[in-house]
Amino acid sequence: MRFFGGVVATLLLAFGLLLVLAASRIDSEAELRFIQRADVVVGLVMAYAMLVLVRCSGALDETAIRPRAGLGAFLVLWGVASGVLIAWHEAVARSRWYVPPAVWALNGATEIAVACGDYARDCGDAPPPAQGLAGLVSDPGVAGWSGPYLGSDRLTDPWGRPYQYRAEANSDRILVWSMGPDGRSGTSDDVRREVLLRGEAE
């Protein structure tokens, strides 16, 4: 009987581990929350299986264990197993979803450059330097303006600083950049996006 119980417990543990591994690919917050709720059930199964294995091994004197103590041990095992699974899935999901700030900054600069192109299409030219990128968000009183072309939150880089912008005189070329983590323009960590308003991005 003990052998049969040990086999069942081992199978339950293996099943729990398989579920944990199968759920390691998480693509959204909704999936993460669903899997973490399931972790509570999987933790329950694994805690039960561990107790069965211990009992089947004969390592404990069951006659010396009070029912309340056994229940307490089971609840502790359940809490620990579920907590470990929940924390592990949280860590796996966050590591998969992590995007370096420089990538976010480049995407933001590209988005602003595209918005400048839309502005130039409607107004005939890029936003003037005196107006800056604010002209993409609110109407500066320029003929043809049909924005907003961008939300105001898009004008801030991942480090909480405003994107920089320069339109070259007598040219369709514009430059949008983030000053990077050091907050200074012209250093090696700047994230730049240079585009031709009537051509392809470079």
Distance CA 50, CA 55 (A): 9
Residues 63, 116 within the same domain: no
pLDDT recorded at residue 172: 76
Residue 58, pLDDT > 50, answer yes
182 lies in some domain = yes
202 within domain boundaries: no
- What one-character-per-residue DSSP string does 40-88 give? HHHHHHHHHHHHHHHHHHT-S-GGGS-HHHHHHHHHHHHHHHHHHHHHH
Same domain, 62 and 120: no
Q: Domain check: are 92 and 121 in the same one?
A: no
Same structural domain for residues 106 and 87?
A: no
Q: Which of 36-40, 148-152, 160-164 has the lowest mean pLDDT?
A: 36-40
Task: Inform me whether the pLDDT recorded for 77 exceeds 70.
Answer: yes
Is residue 83 in a domain? yes
Q: Which residues constitute the domain of residue 29?
A: 2-97
| 185 compared with 45, residue with greater pLDDT | 185
Q: Among residues 39, 67, 97, which one ends one of the domains? A: 97
Report how many domains make up the chain. Answer: 2
> Phi and psi (nearest 5°) for 120?
-65, -35
Q: Whose structure tokens read 């009070």?
A: 66
Model confidence pLDDT, tens digit, residues 18-43: 666 655 677 778 888 888 888 888 88
pLDDT band at 47 (very low <50, low <70, confident <90, very high): confident
Residues facing 78 on adjacent strands = none
pLDDT of 3 reads: 46
Domain-ending residue, one of 97, 129, 162:
97
Looking up residue 111, the CATH number of its domain turns out to be 3.30.700.10
Q: Which of 52, 70, 97 is the last residue of a domain?
A: 97
Same domain, 173 and 108: yes
Q: Is residue 155's pLDDT more than 90?
A: yes
Q: Tens digits of per-residue pLDDT, 134-144? A: 999 998 888 99
End-to-end Cα distance, the chain: 73
CA distances from 129 to 137, 165, 167 (A): 15, 8, 7
- Within this chain, do residues 79 and 19 fall inside the same structural domain, yes or no? yes
* pLDDT range class, residue 190, cuts 50, 70, 90: very high
Q: Which range among 70-84, 132-146, 176-190 shows the weakest confidence by mean pLDDT?
A: 70-84
Q: Is residue 132 part of a domain?
A: yes
Q: What tokens were used for 108?
A: 């933001």
